[in-house]
Amino acid sequence: MLADLQHGPHIAADSVVLKAVLLVQPVKRNNMNAKQKTQQIKLGTLASGFDLTIPILIAEGITPNPIVGISAAVHGDEIVGVQILRELWSLLAREQIQGSVWLMPVVNPLAFEYLTRNTPLDMLDINRTFPGNASGWISEQMAHAISEQYLSRLDYYIDIHAGGTFPLVDYCFLLNNGDFARAFHSKLLYTPAQPYQGTTASVTLKRNVPTVVIEIGGGYEQQEEQVKRGVSKICNMLRYAGVLGGAVEAPPSQTLLREISIMRPKNGGLCYPVRPFPPGEHLMGRVKLAEVVSPYSFESLETMETPFEKNVVVLSRNYVTRVNPGDYTFMIGNLATAETL
Ligand SMILES: [Zn+2]
């Protein structure tokens, strides 16, 4: 009824009826749930003949702005973020929102297809190639299109990562907006001395767009807790951005890390953790974390230990896994240089 009156060509611009409709319009539209639609970023055709497209799912409220972008699976073996966005998408369908939420559930579909961190076609980590190159490798072409058609449109940006195929992780990068990052309620926050170059976040940071990179879950264990918490705390971030109504829940006490040691073994084989080390656990002094064992002779090739006097587990492997030399095996934060917020 309202739509007919608005769009009907028979209504003259100065008619009394139209003025009445315009007056009631904001009230009516405030009661509408988010409209949902899909857009495609189109790249070329693959050698297989299939078209390469990257979908964007858009939930739009009463006004199109602000636009909050949330992406996942920029690394193809990090599937928890996709699960979080699936739940969030169905939740947004039932909500009234201000502005828009633009979800990109799979930033790198080629890597997701093979469940690999890097793009199988050119072996590149797309998250080191942004803002990309329209005439470069396929990862660079994708990064260029995503930068132009997605990242450059956003007013807020959240990128969800995970530990990958085997490790479990739990922290959040505090980059250019502390309140936005803290609204995710991660117990561990991290501000690196040097931010990673070539990431999706590097594009939005350059534009001074509030940007948060979340690291949550990973490994093919049950992730129900992480998915539930991810959805709930991203809703808190959407309240901070003014997209969802209601008060922002205050964060708990959080530890801001300045130094994290990425522990990569020198030898490949089977990695036997001493026991599960949940992210967030404090470990004092030198503590043995794991043994790397040869699968050919069963001899121990290497012992991995905590690197600091006061350690906190950031990423861990909680069951026996295959490791290659240089793999992310543990990440340990230094509590001596950390700050309690
Ligand atoms: Zn990642």
Flag whether the pTM goes above 0.85. yes
Is-same-fold flag (59-240; 261-340)?
A: no
Distance 69 CA to ligand 1 centre (A): 17
Per-residue confidence band for 22, with pLDDT thresholds at 50, 70 and 90: very low
Compute, in degrees rounded to 10, the torsion defined by CA atoms 44, 49, 54, 55: 130
**Each residue's pLDDT tens digit, 242-261:** 999 999 999 999 999 999 99
**Crossing angle of helices 80-92/224-240, nearest 10°?**
50
Distance 300 CA to ligand 1 centre (A): 30
pLDDT digits (tens, 9 = 90+) for 101-152: 999 999 999 999 999 999 999 999 999 999 999 999 999 999 999 999 999 9
CA of 104 to the centre of ligand 1 (A): 14
Where along the chain do its domains lie?
59-240, 261-340
What is the Å distance from ligand 1's center to 63 Cα? 32
- CATH dotted code for 59-240: 3.40.630.10
pLDDT at residue 195, rounded to an integer: 86
Q: Which tokens belong to 271?
A: 């990695």
Task: Report the largest interatomic distance among the alpha carbons of the chain, rounded to a whole angstrom.
Answer: 89
For residue 280, how far is its CA from the centre of ligand 1 (angstroms)?
19
Domain 261-340 has CATH 2.40.50.100: yes
Consecutive H or E run containing 1: none
CA of 74 to the centre of ligand 1 (A): 6
Which residues 6+ apart lie within 8 Å of 21 measured at CB? 2, 5, 6
Ligand 1 centre from 183 Cα, in Å? 20
Looking at the chain, list the stretches that DSSP marks H as alpha helix, in order from N- to C-terminal side: 2-7, 16-30, 80-92, 109-114, 138-149, 178-182, 200-206, 224-240
